[in-house]
């Protein structure tokens, strides 16, 4: 393969890898956002637990039951959404891995070709 063709192929594989990575970026951001929401919910649960112990009438009024119901639904919804996002992420990661492998293979071919060219030039100089 000529150097120009290999250089063009390297540009195409690099662009393909970058495109796959850019497609994955919103998924990674969504995963991060959901994990932050789960962390905030955990902090809110801890805060509410300490506040409930200090608030008279909290359990008598049934606020604890309502709170735990809301917390349970919210946690379930967040975990469901997180599972959906991670499922999409796994599917997209396969495409990214494939693009990365192709990019690495072409870069390796370029390095091998450059090494072979340097060796050929050195031999030519020695034989002169």
- CATH number, position 123: 1.10.287
Residue ranges of the chain whose pLDDT lies below 70: 52-53, 56-61
Provide the pLDDT for residue 60: 64
Q: How far apart (Å, rounded) are the C-alpha atoms in residues 102 and 16?
A: 9
Threshold 0.75, pTM exceeds: no
What is the extent of the structural domain holding 96?
3-127
CB 20 within 8 A of CB 99: yes
Contacts of 114 (CB under 8 A, 6+ apart): none
56-66 pLDDT tens trace: 666 666 777 88
Name the nearest CA neighbour of 105 among 2, 14, 30. 14
Q: How far apart (Å, rounded) are the C-alpha atoms in residues 69 and 33?
A: 23
Number of folded domains in the chain? 1
């Amino acid at each position: 393969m000529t150097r120009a063709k290999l250089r063009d192929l390297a540009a195409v594989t690099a662009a393909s890898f970058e495109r796959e990575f850019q497609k994955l970026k919103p998924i990674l951001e969504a995963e991060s956002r959901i994990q932050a929401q789960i962390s905030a919910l955990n902090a809110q649960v801890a805060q509410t637990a300490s506040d409930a112990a200090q608030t008279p009438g909290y359990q008598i009024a049934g606020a604890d039951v309502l709170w735990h119901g809301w917390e349970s639904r919210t946690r379930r919804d967040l975990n469901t959404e997180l599972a959906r996002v991670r499922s999409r992420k796994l599917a997209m990661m396969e495409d990214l891995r494939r693009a990365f492998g192709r990019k690495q293979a072409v870069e390796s071919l370029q390095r091998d070709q450059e090494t072979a060219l340097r060796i050929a030039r050195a031999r030519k100089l020695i034989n002169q």
